[in-house]
Amino acid sequence: MNKELLIEFFTEDIPARLHKNAIVDARELFLKILCKYNIEYENVEAFVSPRRLALLVTDLADNTRPVSETKRGPKIGANEQVLNGFLNSNNKTKENLEERDGYYYLNIEIPGQNITSLFADIIEEFITRMPWQKSMHWYLEKDKTLSSYWIRPIRSVMCIYGEKPIEVYIKSLGVTTGNTTYGHRFLSNGKICIKNFTDYEAQLTENKVILNFDKKKTYIESELSQQSASMGLVVKSDERLLNEVAGLVEYPFIYIGNINEKFMSLPMEVLSTSMRVHQKYFTLTYPDSNIAPFFATVTNVPITETMKKGFERVLRARLSDAMFFYKEDTDVTLEAYANRLSNVVFHEKLGTMAQKIDRMMSIANSPEEHRVIALCKADLVSQMVGEFPELQGIMGRIYASEQGEVSEVCEAISDHYKPAGAGDNLPKTFLGSRVSFFDKLDTLVGFLGVGIKPTGSKDPFALRRAAVSIIRLIFNLPHDILEDEFTWYIETLITAYADQGIALSSSVKEYVITFLKDRLIVYLSETCPVDFDLCQKIVDKCDFSNNEFKNIKNEVIKVDKLNKQPNFDVIKSAYKRVTGILNNFVLSSENFKYSGNNEYMKKLYDKLITPDVNFENIVNISNLVLDACDNVLINDADDNIRNQNFTLLKLYINLVENVFPTSLLTL
């Protein structure tokens, strides 16, 4: 009889930023463990809230699945003692042996085990293998030892199977499992006794804990929206903050407070960032998207008058700091800040940020590009960006606008950081796109040139992301950002590094191209989507010395579509065979008349002389080519016959190459 299994790890507070990934990781890990133990089930769900990680398995079998396995024993003819040892260790006799491939084999039947006997092992393995970003262990007073590693100390473990508590001692945690848990830290009283998952979820809700992360997030979003709408306001969308506050609270309470009017002169980005980063406050706007003098916050307890005053008092202090930084920054020009970039290290092996600017200048073509490059990193030394690094580029745009720069330059200053990741928006402007390309390519050339490359999952300087950003900039913008051949940019940057006395590897150009090709293969196979191996074969043939890079995406899509046509393998087979025969044969004239009497070549000539250029007809001609190659001595000793044979096959090559890309034919 199948039953429900509920396991809960009750812990100290799990960091909010980890909740969403932990839900996915916990479920995937538990599925693997169930598979390892040959356990049958219907479904697995995982739940994470600030003080608990829970797992629900529905329709879990009472016993593990019986399995059969074949064990190889000693070689036939081996010492009798060795053979007996093999048999005794598996509780078998000689009658059970099979002889195969020069060895003895045993077919072993492993019966199913009662599931309850495995719970301790399953829980221990889950604890050991759960992939937290950072883990800790703690002192177990009872056992006078240290616990297993976990994100935060585990205080109790609940295990209920078929509505009955399972009591097993978890040695690595120093606790015995049971059927009790706890509700909200402040809004519930004592232990809660649980019967099953339905009861568990209901009692947690009664004790002010919303277990399901998505339900809690939806509830917060709905409450924020309703309360702000009642005041004629709109909550500024912030998915990252919403996820964070959903992970911070067990049960959410919403409060909308006031922003002192004197701070409303600050740019919206400054107000919003200060509130989000320091206080986890949501920004509220009017329906026309202008910021309103209000904020929204989410708490874990009901809001008191003292708390309301505290929220606004702390915000005033934060915004006073922001206003001071902003005023100090606007008293200095961006050019003055740019002059300080020689004191900002880009990387110890790659010089300063000022040197990076100079290298980017070397591949820029227009005065507008030079102006954007000169100012694009200036805000890095501003006080506002020093306090809020996420505002780099944004503050540069704001300060440039206030100092009278043209709007295209202002927008390009913030645009050049885009895209910051796979899901980030592309730059809106041509200027921003070009400078973004210069910036990211300089980073790739520099780091790869001094031997700093991603290893495994580690990529501390985000070089893979830079490469994918370059690819996206080239493929997905309405304007062409490559005004020169792609390799010219790489070569010019290499020269710029050398002029600054920064030594790069002599193979840096090849390193950059290979690195980009690797990311390009992954990008195309994921976004087109097309077969990975096909992408690899086409990209490997791409010559970055010309603008094939720009056209390769369309080429891959076209090739993939053709390659999936039925019978296309016949065309490829004939093409490859003929090119191998002809080698470097040159057609003297296409005004050719076949004068031979070979039936295979004559059939081919009749089809080629006035070909109907459609896919089905080319397949038929290709079959005739293969028949001719199988039945005719193409490289005949007679010069005239050989020349006619070669000419016919060359006409076939010309026909096929006029219809299909060579990259497809040679796959």
Encode pLDDT of 638-660 as tens digits.
Answer: 888 988 888 888 888 888 888 88
Q: Is the pLDDT of residue 348 over 60?
A: yes
When pLDDT is cut at 50, 70 and 90, the band that residue 583 belongs to is confident
- Decide: 217 and 211 in contact? Cβ < 8 Å: no
Tell me the residue ranges of DSSP E strands in 20-176: 43-49, 52-60, 67-75, 97-100, 103-110, 139-140, 145-146, 154-161, 164-165, 169-170, 175-176
- Percent of the chain at pLDDT > 70 equals 99
- Percent of the chain at pLDDT > 90 equals 67
Task: Provide CATH 3.30.70 ranges for the chain.
Answer: 3-63+115-206
- The pLDDT value recorded for residue 512 is 95
Mean pLDDT, the chain, rounded, equals 92
Strand 97-100's sheet: what is its strand order? 67-75, 103-110, 97-100
Q: What are φ and ψ of residue 349, in 5° steps?
A: -95, -10
State the virtual CA torsion across 49, 55, 57, 62 in degrees, nearest 10: -150
- Decide: 138 and 148 in contact? Cβ < 8 Å: no
- The pLDDT value recorded for residue 663 is 65
Instruction: For the beta carbon of residue 289, count every other beta carbon within 10 angstroms.
Output: 9
Whether omega for the bond prior to residue 529 falls within 30 degrees of 0, making it cis, is: yes
- The pLDDT value recorded for residue 496 is 97
Residues paired with residue 13 on neighbouring β-strands, in sequence order: none
- The pLDDT value recorded for residue 1 is 55
Q: Which CATH number fits domain 3-63+115-206: 1.10.3120, 2.60.40, 2.60.220, 3.30.70?
A: 3.30.70
pLDDT average, residue stretch 454-458: 86
How far is it, in rounded angstroms, from Cα 470 to Cα 438? 9
When pLDDT is cut at 50, 70 and 90, the band that residue 359 belongs to is very high
How far is it, in rounded angstroms, from Cα 44 to Cα 103? 42
Map residue 268 onto helix, strand or coil.
helix
- Decide: 283 and 275 in contact? Cβ < 8 Å: yes
Tokens matching residue 372: 């954007």
- DSSP letters along 575-609, please? HHHHHHHHTT---S-S--------HHHHHHHHHHH
- The pLDDT value recorded for residue 136 is 96
pLDDT average, residue stretch 610-617: 80
- The pLDDT value recorded for residue 466 is 96
CB under 8 A, 24+ apart: contacts of 42-47: 42/2, 46/22, 47/23, 47/211, 47/212, 47/213
- The pLDDT value recorded for residue 78 is 84
Least confident of 163-167, 398-402, 593-597: 593-597
pLDDT average, residue stretch 512-521: 93
pLDDT average, residue stretch 347-375: 97
- pTM score, whole prediction: 0.77
pLDDT average, residue stretch 466-477: 91
Q: What is the pLDDT of residues 403-447, one digit of tens each?
A: 999 999 999 999 999 998 777 899 999 999 999 999 999 999 999
Beta strand pairing call for 282-285 and 345-347: unpaired
Q: What is the pLDDT of residues 478-499, one digit of tens each?
A: 888 888 889 999 999 999 999 9
Least confident of 53-67, 268-282, 610-624: 610-624
DSSP 328: H
Q: Helix (H) and strand (E) counts for the chain?
A: 25, 20
When pLDDT is cut at 50, 70 and 90, the band that residue 280 belongs to is very high
Nearest to 153 by CA among 168, 173, 170: 173
- The pLDDT value recorded for residue 590 is 65
When pLDDT is cut at 50, 70 and 90, the band that residue 546 belongs to is low
Q: What is the pLDDT of residues 558-580, one digit of tens each?
A: 777 777 778 888 988 898 898 88
pLDDT average, residue stretch 386-395: 95
When pLDDT is cut at 50, 70 and 90, the band that residue 451 belongs to is very high
Q: Is the pLDDT of residue 543 over 80?
A: no
Q: Is the pLDDT of residue 613 over 80?
A: no
pLDDT average, residue stretch 45-52: 97
Amino acid at 417: Y
- The pLDDT value recorded for residue 262 is 95
